[in-house]
Amino acid sequence: MAYECIVVPYDGSDHAQSALAAACGIAKGHDTKVHVVNVVPINIFPEVASTDPAAVVSPSYVTQKTYSELFDDTLLQIHQEMMGTIGNTFDELKEDQVTYEVIAHPSAVEGIIDYASDHNCDLIVMGRRGLGALRGLLGSVSYGVIRATKIPVLTVK
Ligand code: ATP
Ligand code: MG
C-alpha cells in the first residue's frame, strides 16, 4: 500500500536531512504527497522585533502593521533558508508532489501533529540522533510527537 500523504518535520539538522531522503524513497514512483514542515516557535517574533530597530516605531511599541510585516518577512526568510538547506533532495519526485512550509506555533510537537491531522497525513517521517538508550534515543520533539499522535511515525538516524 502506498502512503497518500507524508509529513516530514524539518529543523535543518542532519537527522532531519536523513528523514527527507527516507521520505523521498517512500514517495518515489507513487502519487504520495510530501509536506516538509518547519515549526518556528511563535515567541521568536517579539525577540526579532526588539532586535530590529527598523521594525520598532518608538522605543516602547511596534504597530500592528509593522509587526505583521515583520512576521511575514521572518517566515519568508526562514523559508528561503530551509529551501537552501534542502537543495535537490526531492529531484526524483514530481514538482507538485512536494510542499515546503514554515509555520509558527507555540509548540513544535503540537504544530507537527496539528499540521499532519489538518492534511490527513498517514505517515510522519522524522529524524533521530541515535544516542543513548530508551528515552535517550529520542529528542524532545520526536518523543513528544510519538507519544501524542495516532499517525504512524518513522524515525530515521
Ligand atoms: P532536543 O531538541 O530534545 O535537544 P534533538 O534536536 O536531537 O533533541 P528532536 O528535537 O526531537 O531531537 O528532533 C528530532 C526530529 O524532530 C528532527 O530530525 C526533525 O525531524 C523534528 N523536529 C525537531 N524540531 C523541529 C521543528 N522545530 N520543526 C520541525 N521539525 C522538528
Ligand atoms: Mg531539537
- Within a domain: 137: yes
**Residue 138: its pLDDT value, please?**
84
Q: Alpha helix (H) ranges present in the chain? A: 14-27, 44-51, 64-86, 108-118, 140-148
Q: Looking at residues 14-42, what average pLDDT do you find?
A: 97
| pTM for this model (two decimals) | 0.91
Residue nearest to atom 12 of ligand 1 (CA): 139
**How far is ligand 2, taken at its centre, from the CA of residue 39, in Å?**
11
- Mean pLDDT (the chain) is 90
Q: For residue 132, is pLDDT > 80? A: no
Q: For residue 50, is pLDDT > 80? A: no
Q: Count the domains in the chain.
A: 1
**Residue 32: its pLDDT value, please?**
98
Which atom of ligand 1 lies closest to the CA of 126? 20
The CATH code of the domain that includes 105 is 3.40.50.620
Helix, strand, coil % in the chain, rounded to nearest 5: 50, 20, 30
Q: Select the more confidently predicted residue: 55 or 7.
A: 7
pLDDT digits (tens, 9 = 90+) for 80-97: 999 999 999 999 999 999
**How sure is the predictor about 27, in pLDDT bands with cuts at 50, 70 and 90?**
very high
Q: For residue 5, is pLDDT > 70? A: yes
* Per-residue cell: 65: 502593521
**Residue 59: its pLDDT value, please?**
64
Which atom of ligand 1 lies closest to the CA of 40? 27
Residue 156 CB less than 6 A away from ligand 1? no
Q: Which of 13, 125, 147 to mutate to test the pocket of ligand 1 (most atoms within 8 A of CB)?
A: 13
- Within a domain: 65: no
Which atom of ligand 1 lies closest to the CA of 128? 14
**How far is ligand 1, taken at its centre, from the CA of residue 141, in Å?**
5
- Within a domain: 29: yes
- Within a domain: 73: no
Range of the domain at 35: 5-45+79-156
